[in-house]
A and B are shown apart, each in its own frame.
Chain A
């Protein structure tokens, strides 16, 4: 089946003079790496072949008729216009096919819906424009943002996406799960509706603000699986990918231990050079600010204020600090950032993006007393 398809695609490509060689594409749905995703693939192929066969029958009849029953060949038109028998047949036969199709579809639907008896639970929160993952069994909690290379490239007119590995499908911190464990996902959103989709897991599910949806996956094979947000969620909807790494149990256990240790580490509040502050500040900016305020700090006319020349951004740093921590009706609070990150990003915003306040802020200045417990 696949060979035939690839041949078909190859022919189309050759016909268009592109040559199949350069193409790194797929034509069909992935089989995925879970039992459910394989069942869905089978359903997909079954209904596809039913459609192909019905299509060949109907279009074949039509084209036979178009070829033979034409006036230019002297064909005389018959005048029949009713036949109860065939009308009953072509009502009953499709009904039977549909019933036949509904049975396996129902089975898969039941399977897909059954979140009971899971081994672990991960809470997925969609936010504009990144994913927030919380492991409910062991307190691991992190954000997963588009990687920096893609972030810069997709915001730069004329930049070459082909030079970026996994362009738009790469993140800074992937979600890690163990193989052969039933992982339950509870999905919600912090702002607008998002939808979490990794094709290899076989499903997508909407993340609705204020409500929780459930889904599950048990991955058969270790590997890296990529997906994207699939519900329009604003200007950067196309830029909040998902990366799932499935690991063998021992590797997973080691990852959990390492991640928990890292989470316990207190942020390093020691002084930094100006260059360090600016470089780190850019990273913080690219993760947290760039979606709205843009890569050059210009904002969006009529929607989002510019940072360039902004009185708040370039005024007293203490009020900027308070402003960021409090948030506004339009902007979320950034109190999730630690003192180190505040120092870095404020230094960056005040001395780049067309601003030149000339100061530099050190982590010790901006840290709150409780910052070191995260």
Chain B
């Protein structure tokens, strides 16, 4: 591909550099990585608000003890759908959107390696999510057995009505979409880098996505297999998970979490990549420990495959299993620690400024680390016999997803939107959004640690009165957090339409061009970029070796 482009002279380039097609068809049939990236991001933001609205229903019902607004089965549907929509509709697509926009720009490629498949994987995602969302309007309601879809509960006619097969086919579509996206990203990274960019010159965001791509290819088929077994157990009288027919419900848990644990790293590794891209620019320093960052990412991805049963310490495993999964899980703290130390060392002795993307990144490092600490606590198997399935774990994984993944997605928005649109966002409103989010997210989730330790199980629509105060505080934090995100929506729309009116430079951020190829392109980035691959790769992190 690049060889072909190389043969063009500049005149020929200009001739081919036409803009996007006009009208709605531009979006439906587009194969342009920027258009597809935009669609992914817009779709993810929309789903973020849909999933968020479900969270608001949950927090409203839990505002006070007793029955207020929703029936327990609908409450269970909300917790289930909130998780599925946020994971498969918001966080994962948002990172694929970022990958679509940024990876070609960062590695000097003209587009993704497989542009038509790129289009298809987006539209399959939309189909999958719509199929899932349609269950909300079905007789018997949306799936309500938890996003883990444990049998026999989700197979029970009195629990889940007509929704199960739709949820299963939705998972199939989402899985195909994710695998196609992952193949595309891997193919792009391995084949389409600028000729002078070696693997160890790649920006960390590219590295983390490369590794994430392999995780996706490895585990999405496992999940598809697990839900297909649910389907055949339900409709074709197999007994994979039915003890009466020789099956085992715990088998499902093993298969699910063999997918589920790498899945959580699918949502966090690109987050690490974004943080490793943003922090050096605002610290005006190269990323500390580039090579160890790469190896730590690889180590975390490897460990992701061998720790799954720490989600099942209380499911009934032999002692050797409990001990093995405890030790393996504890080891994750080491590469994760390396990452946190590296970010801290990157800030150390820098010349920091605190624009909105940097504020979100700092909050990410602190709050993700807190989520990591509670993760370490839960790796201690005997202690997990207390923590498991309480609000302590709810607090833990929300700390690793909301002020980590979500915050870094927001940070990425503030960071790259000026590059993409050529407009600067409103810094004052951006900072207001940051402070409201950072404070309210802690009011929302920190008290949940107390609730869990005090004995409140998760996934209950009503609770004993001694849990009332902290639930009320948590709900208040939730409402403020939810409302604050409307500011982000406003800022995105405002920036796209012109923002502050200030014309941003090509670099956007001071000296950014030293750190990444995308900042050497004009702002806004033209519809077609890198039709001729760049010859010099700015690799601030490997200064010495070039």
Contact = CB atoms under 8 A, between A and B. Distances in A.
A102 B66 contact: no
A61 interface: yes
B377 A44 contact: yes
Interface stretch (B6-14, B68-76, B212-220, B488-496): B68-76
A91 B338 contact: yes
Contacts of A47: 376-377, 380, 383
Interface stretch (B20-28, B29-37, B144-152, B415-423): B144-152
Contacts of B462: 154, 161, 168, 238-239
B388 interface: yes
B386 interface: yes
A258 B543 CA distance: 83
Given A75-B351, A193-B150, A51 B450 contact: no
A27 B392 CA distance: 11
B349 A43 contact: no
A62 B347 contact: yes
Interface stretch (A16-24, A172-180, A247-255, A315-323): A16-24
Nearest to B68: A157
A206 B290 contact: no
Interface stretch (A207-215, A271-279, A365-373): A207-215
Residue picked from A24, A98, A229, A239, most chain B C-beta under 10 Å: A98
A14 interface: no
Interface string A61-89: 11001100111100111111111001100
A23 B534 CA distance: 64
A22 B250 CA distance: 43
A302 B140 contact: yes
B327 interface: yes
A270 interface: no
A71 B331 CA distance: 37
Interface in B284-311: 284-292
B389 A81 contact: no
B248 A203 contact: no
Interface stretch (B95-103, B195-203, B316-324): B316-324
Nearest to B365: A62
Contacts of A79: 285-286, 543
Contacts of A26: 450, 453-454, 466
Contact of A81 (B243, B285, B369): B285
B352 A71 contact: yes
Contact of B315 (A76, A208, A210): A208
B385 A59 contact: no
B228 interface: no
Contact of A28 (B66, B286, B353, B453): B453
Interface residues of A, dominant DSSP: mixed
A23 B354 CA distance: 39
B152 A302 contact: no
Interface in B166-203: none
B150 A25 contact: no
B162 interface: yes
A98 B455 contact: no
A73 to B, nearest CB: 9
A112 interface: yes
* Chain A interface size range: 35 or more
B315 A101 contact: no
A39 interface: yes
Given A204-B314, A235-B159, A210 B244 contact: yes
Residue picked from B249, B388, B389, B455, most chain A C-beta under 10 Å: B455
B139 A90 contact: no
A159 interface: yes
A69 B249 contact: no
A208 to B, nearest CB: 6
Given A58-B344, A90-B341, A234-B156, A27 B350 contact: no
A157 B159 contact: no
A161 B408 CA distance: 40
Contact of A235 (B76, B243, B389): B76
A206 B145 contact: no
Given A90-B338, A193-B249, A77 B243 contact: no
Given A25-B466, A39-B382, A66 B316 contact: no
Contacts of A359: none
Contact of A167 (B65, B72, B314, B322): B65
Contacts of A199: 386, 455
* Chain B interface size range: 35 or more
Nearest to A153: B66
Interface stretch (A103-111, A131-139, A280-288, A335-343): A103-111
Contacts of B380: 43-44, 47, 101, 105
Contacts of B543: 79, 81
Residue picked from B243, B369, B389, most chain A C-beta under 10 Å: B389
Given A112-B385, A113-B319, A105 B326 contact: yes
A1 interface: no
B67 A159 contact: yes
Interface stretch (B109-117, B398-406, B467-475, B501-509): B467-475
Contacts of B283: 69, 77
A108 B454 contact: no
A155 B458 CA distance: 19
Interface string A90-126: 1100110010011001101110110000000000000
A43 to B, nearest CB: 5
Interface in A187-241: 191-193, 195, 197, 199, 202-206, 208-211, 213, 227-239
Given A105-B326, A234-B159, A40 B383 contact: yes
Given A61-B344, A206-B315, A109 B250 contact: no
A358 interface: no
A167 B244 contact: no
A72 B353 contact: yes
Given A58-B369, A86-B345, A25 B157 contact: no
Contacts of B334: 91, 94-95, 98
A203 B386 contact: yes
A78 B66 contact: no
A260 interface: no
B152 A29 contact: no
9 contacts: A28-B450, A29-B386, A81-B290, A102-B327, A161-B65, A208-B249, A209-B152, A228-B460, A239-B462
Interface of A: 9, 13, 16, 18, 22-30, 36, 39-40, 43-44, 47-48, 51, 54-55, 58-59, 61-62, 65-66, 69-72, 75-83, 86-87, 90-91, 94-95, 98, 101-102, 105-106, 108-110, 112-113, 153-162, 166-169, 191-193, 195, 197, 199, 202-206, 208-211, 213, 227-239, 292, 300-304, 329-330
Please give me the 10 A-B residue pairs with the lowest Cβ-Cβ distance, nearest first: A210-B243, A238-B460, A302-B139, A302-B140, A213-B316, A51-B373, A81-B286, A203-B385, A77-B351, A77-B284
Given A98-B331, A203-B314, A209-B152, 7 more contacts: A9-B450, A29-B453, A43-B380, A54-B373, A90-B341, A102-B327, A157-B68
Interface of B: 65-68, 71-73, 76, 138-141, 144-146, 150, 152-153, 156-159, 161-162, 242-244, 248-250, 283-292, 314-316, 319, 322-323, 326-327, 330-331, 333-334, 337-338, 340-341, 344-354, 362, 365-366, 369-370, 373-374, 376-377, 380-383, 385-386, 388-390, 450, 453-455, 457-467, 469-470, 473, 541, 543
